[in-house]
Structure 1
Amino acid sequence: MMAEYEYAFPAIRGVQAGRVFFVSMCPLKLLPKIFVWDDDDLPPELRAQRTLNKGRIPEMARYLESNPTSYTFSAITASLDATVRFVPHSGGVHGAATGVLRIPMDGRFIINDGQHRRAAIEQALKARPELGDETIAVVFFIDKGLERCQQMFADLNRHAVRASKSIGVLYDHRDPLAALTREVVATSPVFKGFVETEATSLSKESRRLFTLSAIYGAHRSLFDSVTDVAPKAQTRLALTFWGIVDDQIPEWGDVRARRMRSPEVRADFIHTHGIVLAALGRIGNSLLLADQNPDTWRKTLGKLHDLDWARSNTGLWEGRAMIGGRVSKALNNVLLTTAAIRIHLGLPLPIEEQRAEDALRKEHRL
C-alpha cells in the first residue's frame, strides 16, 4: 500500500559520471521527517555515514537561531534506495531538465553529506518554528545498496579542505573580535604589511612575520572576561598594547626597517610564533583586568626587552615553547611559555600556570 503514496519534489534532472541525479528543494520543517537518522547504533561497516557528532549540533543550531535573516546552509546530498519516477514538465521523457521527482514513501533516504546540518535544523526549529517554510537544496542520487553510499561518502570527503583559521577570521563579519583583529592588523604599524591573512602557517621564505589566526588567538586571550570595554576602546587598547610590546622586541622593528629578513627572524627567534603571541595576550589580560590605563603597563612590559627570545636559548624555551627544537602549540606549552615570561616580568602565576610550572620543575628537577 505504501508504494501508492509518493513524495513529489520539483526537481532539475542532470547526469554525472553517467548516472542520473536530481536537484530539488526541501522545506526545513520536512527535513527531519523525511531524512530520519537511525544509524548510530550500527557498526561502522554497516553504515553509510560517520557517527553523528552531537557536540557540533548546539553551535550550528545557535548559528541558525541567531541569524534567521542571514544564515547560509549548503546543500544536503542524499542517496535514494527506491524506484523513482521523473515527470518532466514538457511531457517528454528524454532530454528533459525540469519536472517533478516522485519518490515512494517506503523508499530509503540516506544522507551522504549534511547529517549535522539536518540535526541542527531540527533543533533550531524548536526555537524558531517560523523558519520551517524556508528551504534547503537537496541533491538526490539514485542508489541501490550500501556499498555505493559508503563510496559516495568517501568521495565527497576525499578532497574536502577545511578553510584555514586565518581566512575564517578575515571573512567573519559576525564576530566582533575578528573585526577588531582585522582593524588592528590594517592600522597598527607593528602588523601592517607583515601578516599572513589566508594561511595558518608561514612558508620558509615568506616575508610575513605573523599569521592572522595567531593574532586573533592572542586577542581572544587579551580580552578574556573583559566585559566593560566598548569595541572601539578595545581596539585602542589592543593597538597600544602591541605598540608597547613592539618597543621591547627590536627584531620586529628591524624587519620593518629592512635591517633583518622575516625568514631569519622566524628561524632564529620564537617571538613571532602564535604560542608567544598567545602568552603575551594572557599576560596583557592580567594587566588589563588589574588596570585599564595602558600607562601602568609600560614599566612591567618594559622588562620584555631583556628576555632572550632566541631558539638557541634552549635552557629556557626547550620543554616550554619548544619540544625537540620545534615550536609547540599545545595548551600546556602555552601555559609554560606564559609562566616563563611572567616570572621574568616579576608577575605572580595564576593557578593553572603554577601547576604546569610545578610539574615541569618536578619532571626536570629544576
Structure 2
Amino acid sequence: MTTSENTMEGLRKFAESAKKIMRVPALKGHLGGVDFYIITLSLAEVPRYIVGTDPNPDLSPKLRENRRANPARFAEIADYIVCNQNDYRFSAITCTYGKNGTDHPDNWEPADPDAPKGSPGWMLGMLTLNQQDPLVIVDGQHRLGAIEKAIDIEPELRNDSIAVVLFPYIDLRANQQLFSDLNRIAKPPTKSLNILFDYRDITNRVVQKVVEGVSVFKGQVNLELVSVAKSPNEMFTLAGIYQASEPMIIGSFKGGLLQKELSQENNNEDEYVKFLFDAWEFIAEQFPEWGKVASGQISLSENRKKYLHWNSGVLSSIGEFIGTVMRKCAADWKETVKTDLTHPDNANWRRDMPQWQGLVLAGDQVLPRSAVRIQLIAYLKLKVGLPLTDGENKALLQLDHAVQKKIGFQP
C-alpha cells in the first residue's frame, strides 16, 4: 500500500471512529459512591444518542432496564410540548453510559486538572463517551418518545435542549435498581395541588376563584389534600369542588345557560366564575349545615359524622347530577335541583337513615366512589323523572330488590 493510500486509510478509520465519539461539556458530581455527569443535548440529538426501552412485548420484565413504555403517553406529552412551546418544562432525563463493568467514561478533562475535588475546576470539564455503547435510558422514556413526536409535528423544537444525567452502566441489575430508586421515592402531587398550581388550565382558574369567592367556601377548603375526612376546620378539598364544578361548567353551556363554551379563545372566564358563584350559593342553601359550620354556629367534626353531603364522592355526584339538569331543564334547573335535593325521601341527607343503605352506604361506610357516582345520580334522576342512561339502569338493576323498592325503581 502506498503512502498516499495509507494516509487515506488512516483518515477513513479516524473519521469512522470519530462518528462513535461524543465529546461534550459536562458538570461532574459524586453521589452514593459513584461519579455522575450532567450534560445537555438538543432535542434533535436526544433520539440519536439515547436508546429507549425494548418495545418487544415478549421480553421478560427481568430483562428490561425499566418498565415497558406506554405509547399513549408519548402523544399526551408531545401535545403538551407543542401546545406550550414558549413555556413547557422538563426535568432531566437519566441514562447510563458504557457497558457491563463501566465505572468511568472514556475520558474526562477537568477545567483545572489540579483543582481539589468538589471545586468548580474539578466539577466543570469535557466528557468523552464511546457511542458504540449508547446511552441507555433509565428514567424519562416517555419524554424521549414524546420528544420524537413533537419534533415531527413542530421541527423548530429540534433546537431546544434538555438536561441528561449520566451514571455508569454497571450491569442490568444495577440499572433496574437505579430505576427503582428513582421512582420509588417519587410521589406525584395531589389532584388539589395540580389544580392550584396549573394556571394554564382555564377550568382550574375558574374553580380557584369560586373557592375564593363563594361564602361557605372562604377559608373552609383545603388546597393541598384530597381528603379532609378528619379535619376539624376544613369542609372540602379543592379537588372535591373541582370534580363537582366541572360537570356544571359543561352543563351550563350545553343547556344554553351560557352562550359560549369556556375557553381561552372565548375570553369568558369571568362569565363562568359569576355563573358558578351563583350556582354554589344556591346549592349551599339546600344544605344549611354548610353555612352554619362556615359561620361557626355548629361543629364540623360532629356534623361530618351525621350528614352525607360532606363526602367528596357524594358531592361530586351531586355536581354531575346538577350538570345533567342544566342540560335537560335549562332555565328551570334551580327549581328541579331544589325539589330533588330537599326531597323528603332524602331525610335531610342524614347518614343514619336506612334508605341510604346499599345505595350510598354499607353499614357506616360510604361505598366506593364508582358505585356512589352511578347509583346516586340514578336515584336523583328518578326523583324528578329524568331518563336514566343504560349504565345507570343497569346499575340499579343489580341492586338488592329491597333497595330498588326503597328508592322507587321499577325494573
Q: Same fold (TM over 0.5)?
A: yes
Matched, 1:255 2:293: yes
In structure 1, the residue matched to 2:321 is: 283
2:45 paired residue among 26, 30, 33 = 30
Cα displacement (A) at 1:286: 2.2
In structure 1, the residue matched to 2:69 is: 52
Task: Give distance in 2, aligned partners of 1:159 and 1:98.
Answer: 29
In structure 1, the residue matched to 2:108 is: 86
In structure 2, the residue matched to 1:336 is: 375
Task: Give distance in 2, aligned partners of 1:318 and 1:24.
Answer: 60
Q: How does 1:218-237 map to 2 (within 5 A)?
A: 218-224=244-250, 226=253, 228-229=259-260, 230-237=268-275
Task: Give distance in 2, aligned partners of 1:146 and 1:363.
Answer: 59
Cα displacement (A) at 1:243: 1.3
- Deviation digits for residues 320-348 of structure 1, max 9, x if unmatched? 33345322443342011111222234433
Distance change in 2, residues 1:231/1:242 (3 Å): same
Task: Give distance in 2, aligned partners of 1:322 and 1:365.
Answer: 14
Contact kept, 8 Å, 1:275 with 1:337, in 2: the verdict is no
Cα displacement (A) at 1:247: 0.9
Task: Give distance in 2, aligned partners of 1:323 and 1:86.
Answer: 65
Cα displacement (A) at 1:224: 2.8
Deviates more, 1:174-183 or 1:222-231: 222-231
In structure 2, the residue matched to 1:187 is: 213
Task: Give distance in 2, aligned partners of 1:354 and 1:344.
Answer: 14
Contact kept, 8 Å, 1:180 with 1:231, in 2: the verdict is yes
1:312 paired residue among 352, 372, 379 = 352
TM-score by length of 1: 0.92
Matched, 1:40 2:40: no
Q: How does 1:59-98 map to 2 (within 5 A)?
A: 59-82=76-99, 83-92=105-114, 95=117, 96-98=122-124
Matched, 1:214 2:240: yes
Contact kept, 8 Å, 2:106 with 2:130, in 1: the verdict is yes
In structure 1, the residue matched to 2:265 is: none
Q: How does 1:136-175 map to 2 (within 5 A)?
A: 136-175=162-201
Task: Give distance in 2, aligned partners of 1:254 and 1:330.
Answer: 27
In structure 1, the residue matched to 2:29 is: 14
| Gapped regions of structure 1 (runs ≥ 5) | none
* Count of aligned pairs: 363
The structure having more radius of gyration, on CA atoms, is 2
In structure 1, the residue matched to 2:5 is: none
- Deviation digits for residues 134-161 of structure 1, max 9, x if unmatched? 1001110112211111111111112111
Task: Give distance in 1, aligned partners of 2:361 and 2:386.
Answer: 22
Amino acid of the structure 1 residue aligned with 2:161: T
Cα displacement (A) at 1:91: 4.8
In structure 2, the residue matched to 1:299 is: 335
Contact kept, 8 Å, 2:193 with 2:223, in 1: the verdict is yes
- Deviation digits for residues 274-314 of structure 1, max 9, x if unmatched? 22222222222123224554xx233222222242212222x
**Structural RMSD (CA):** 2.2
Contact kept, 8 Å, 1:3 with 1:104, in 2: the verdict is no
Task: Give distance in 2, aligned partners of 1:171 and 1:245.
Answer: 27
Deviates more, 1:349-358 or 1:4-13: 349-358
Distance change in 2, residues 1:290/1:233 (3 Å): farther
Task: Give distance in 2, aligned partners of 1:93 and 1:259.
Answer: 69
Contact kept, 8 Å, 2:195 with 2:204, in 1: the verdict is yes
In structure 2, the residue matched to 1:127 is: 153
Deviates more, 1:18-27 or 1:104-113: 104-113
Contact kept, 8 Å, 1:219 with 1:281, in 2: the verdict is yes
Task: Give distance in 2, aligned partners of 1:365 and 1:338.
Answer: 14
Distance change in 2, residues 1:87/1:241 (3 Å): same
Task: Give distance in 2, aligned partners of 1:185 and 1:69.
Answer: 30
| Gapped regions of structure 2 (runs ≥ 5) | 1-12, 100-104, 261-267, 406-411
Amino acid of the structure 1 residue aligned with 2:68: T
Contact kept, 8 Å, 1:78 with 1:140, in 2: the verdict is yes
In structure 1, the residue matched to 2:278 is: 240
Contact kept, 8 Å, 1:7 with 1:103, in 2: the verdict is yes
Amino acid of the structure 1 residue aligned with 2:357: E
Amino acid of the structure 2 residue aligned with 1:140: L
Amino acid of the structure 1 residue aligned with 2:233: R
Task: Give distance in 2, aligned partners of 1:344 and 1:320.
Answer: 14
Cα displacement (A) at 1:363: 9.3
Deviates more, 1:22-31 or 1:298-307: 298-307
Distance change in 2, residues 1:176/1:299 (3 Å): same
In structure 1, the residue matched to 2:396 is: 357
Q: What percentage of aligned pairs have identical amino acids?
A: 30
Cα displacement (A) at 1:3: 5.7
Cα displacement (A) at 1:232: 2.3
TM-score by length of 2: 0.82
Distance change in 2, residues 1:75/1:285 (3 Å): same
